[in-house]
Each structure stands twice: as C-alpha cells, then as structure tokens.
Homo-oligomer: A and B are copies of this chain.
Amino acid sequence: MALDPDVEALSFLLGKWQGEGTGEYPTIQPFAFREELLFECNGKPFLSYSQKTWSLEDDSPMHSETGFLRLAGPAPRRLEIVVAHSTGLVEVSEGILEPGKIELISTNVHGTSTAKTVTAIGRSIIVTGDIFKYRLRMAAGGLPAHHHLSGELQKVESS
C-alpha cells in the first residue's frame, strides 16, 4: 500500500520493535522491563502506535499505551502525538521530527479522577537503522520533571 506523502517522513518508525528498558523516579524503586512497540499506517495521513511492557522477573504485563502520530507542517517538521495510557492518563505532545530523531513535549496531560497526577511528559527518540532508543521525562506527584524511562529496541518486523 502506498504511504500518504504526509507520513513518508515517519516511515522509519513503521513495524514492530522489541527490546528492554529501565525506569526510575524519585518516588519509586528502579525497575526494568521487556518492551514492544508497534507503528502501523492504514493509508491515512497518520500512524497508529501501541506500546506494551512486561516484567523481566515474571513476564507479567506492566504498562501499555496507544495512540496516533501525525505531521503538522513542513521541515523542520512539526510532529503531533495523542496517547492514551493504561494508567488512566491522556497525553497530547508536540515537537520536531528530524531524520531519525524526534523530540516531543506535552501540551496537555490529563487523568481520570483516580489516576496519579502527571503534569508533563517529554520524549526523546533516536532511530539509527533498526535500533530505536528513547528517553522519557515526566513531572508527576507534584515534582518537577525528572528522567523516568529509557529503552533500546530492535526492529523485528517491517510493516
């Protein structure tokens, strides 16, 4: 299927990625996880995205999130993402796409009544060939932004 020209610049993301990551935050014990990312395109001018993580200790499911990415302008290309988190949060983040590199900062993070309070999320992604490295910063529980997650994944299926 031909890609919409508006998502051609995102095509390096397409496919399934698997790897491992680690998490930390001032309020919690450090942790590690197995992770899978899936980026797909149905021909419309956006990508769909899903992320799942599992415990390295007992393979039980941990976090998941799902959403969409779309471009919003010419180079340096503005990128917009919308994400729903299994923890009861939604996130709108915007930023810049450069070849193999994405920087995003949240413009809106909102939770359900029983979700933990997260006020900001920042994402940095670097893709070099089949290797996807990311870092995620988060401001939560009244704290300023801290490093929270990092991971490295390898492309295991092209889309």
User: Which residues from chain A sit less than 8 Å from chain B, CB to CB?
Assistant: 42-44, 46, 48, 50, 52, 60-61, 64, 66-68, 70, 72, 78, 80-86, 88-92, 94, 107-108, 110-115
Q: How far is the CB of A91 from chain B (nearest CB, A)?
A: 7
Task: For the complex formed, measure the closest distance between the CB of A95 and the CB atoms of chain B, giving whole angstroms.
Answer: 11
Q: CB distance B44 to A113 under 8 Å?
A: no
Q: How far is the CA of A77 from the CA of B108 in the complex (A)?
A: 28
Give the docked Cα–Cα distance between A45 and B115 (Å).
13
Q: Is there contact, CB below 8 Å, between A90 and B91?
A: yes
The answer to whether A64 touches B48 (Cβ under 8 A) is yes
A124 → B minimal CB distance (Å): 19
Given the complex, which residues of B lie within 8 Å of A90, measured CB to CB?
67, 82-84, 90-92, 108, 110
- Cβ–Cβ < 8 Å partners of A78 in chain B: 113
**Chain B hits for A68, CB < 8 A:** 64, 66, 84-86, 88
